[in-house]
Structure 1
Amino acid sequence: MIKLVHPVAGVIALFTIATFWLSTAITEMFASRATVVVVKMAIPWGFFLPVPALAAAGGSGFVLSKGRLGRLVNAKKRRMPFIAANGLLILIPSALFLASRARANEFDAAFHAVQMLELIAGIVNITLLGLNLRDGLKLKGKLRSSPLEASRPR
């Protein structure tokens, strides 16, 4: 069961965060202020999906990695604290701040600065989660290593 929970939870977290990021980027560039307000206010409600998914992925990954050694397992373990800290310390507070400002129709310099921080932190988490997905697929033998990776010393 845990071997199913881990990849499903990881994919849910990755795609949810990517959806938040894309929704923000697209509405900021192309949509009306009213649409930006709707998106900014909806994102905190969406936390009910990626937060438990990340917790499940991290916890199940910790259990699955017991007794396993190797570069890929270690890389995944090193990324998880950054993913969690980025989410808890930057992404969640930023989303709450932006939702509050959007609700009050305050699109000032602080809003735009925090929006930029959120977009940067979001793409960092998307990248790190994507790398974890890639390494998980390699560990399961569903993705081959590139020739350059195969020639690297371990």
Structure 2
Amino acid sequence: MKRIHPIAGFVGFLTILCFWMSTLVVELFGNAAAILAVKTGILWGMIVLVPSLAITGATGFRLAGPVRTGLVRAKQRRMPVIAANGLLILVPCAFVLQRLAAESQFTPMFYALQALELLAGAVNLTLIGLNIRDGLRMTRRRRAMRVGGGTDGPGAAV
């Protein structure tokens, strides 16, 4: 569990980053065929993204146990925003943008949805990045406690 959680979280983060960067690059420098290829690739990439985020959430909830304070609480507060943003904005945008690109409908609606998708993706990258940062801090604290300074470690007073 302790290994699966960070790996799944990192895979999810990198997948979103790949989606976001490829979208930005193709919008700035690509043609219609390249845009369609990226939009189709994003839909296929959800096969990796959705399970990785689900695994991250489930393992994180399990690892947190009954703790609901500090960094754990901060991470838990971000998760509903990340999930809602993904389910209510990013996934629908991905399907609609792919369909519009397939029909060569590069209208103001396409670009408005594209801007919304980029904004929502940036928000999720930021929030997941903060969760990764806090998870690393928690891991460092646990290691420090085990190594010698904490009440649970071998150097603890008896």
- TM-score of the aligned structures, taking structure 1 as reference length: 0.89
Residue equivalent to 2:153: none
Shift of 1:73: 0.5
Aligned pairs for 1:64-103 (under 5 A) are 64-103=63-102
2:49 & 2:132 partners in 1: Cα distance?
A: 15
Q: For 1:122-147, what per-residue CA distance to the aligned partner results, in whole angstroms no more than 9, with x for missing partners? A: 000000000000000000007xxxxx
Structure 1 CA distance, aligned partners of 2:75 and 2:68?
11
After superposition, residues 107-118 of structure 1 pair within 5 angstroms as 107-118=106-117
The offset of 1:69, in angstroms, is 4.4
Q: Secondary structure at the match of 1:48?
A: helix
Number of residues paired by the alignment?
A: 141
Cα separation, 2, equivalents of 1:72 and 1:123:
22
Counterpart CA distance in 1 for 2:81 and 2:70 is 18
Aligned to 1:6: 5
Structure of higher RCO (CA pairs closer than 8 Å, 6+ residues apart): 1
Q: CA deviation at 1:59?
A: 0.5
Letter in 2 for 1:46: G
SS in 2 for 1:47: helix
The reply to whether residue 105 of structure 1 matches residue 104 of structure 2 is yes
Give the letter for the 1:37 counterpart: L
Task: In structure 1, give the amino acid aligned to 2:77.
Answer: R
Could you tell me how far 1:71 is from its partner in structure 2?
Answer: 1.4
Compare 33-42 and 118-127 and name the one that shifted more.
Answer: 33-42
3-state SS in 2 of match to 1:67: coil
User: Matched residues in 1 for 2:68 and 2:114: separation?
Assistant: 39
Structure 2 match to 1:138: 137
Alpha-carbon RMSD across the aligned residues, in angstroms, is 1.0
Structure 1 residues not aligned, in runs of 5+:
143-154
Matched, 1:125 2:120: no
Query: Which of the two has higher C-alpha Rg?
Result: 2
Q: Distance in 2 between matches of 1:87 and 1:140?
A: 27
Query: 5+ residue gaps in structure 2?
Result: 142-158
Please identify, of 8-17 and 62-71, the stretch whose mean Cα deviation from structure 2 is larger: 62-71
Partner of 1:38: 37
Over residues 38-85 of structure 1, what are the superposed CA-to-partner deviations in whole Å (9 max), with x where a residue is unaligned? 111211111001100000000000001113343111000000011111
Counterpart of 1:47, as a letter, is: M
Secondary structure at the aligned position of 1:141 is classed as helix
Percent identity, please.
Answer: 48
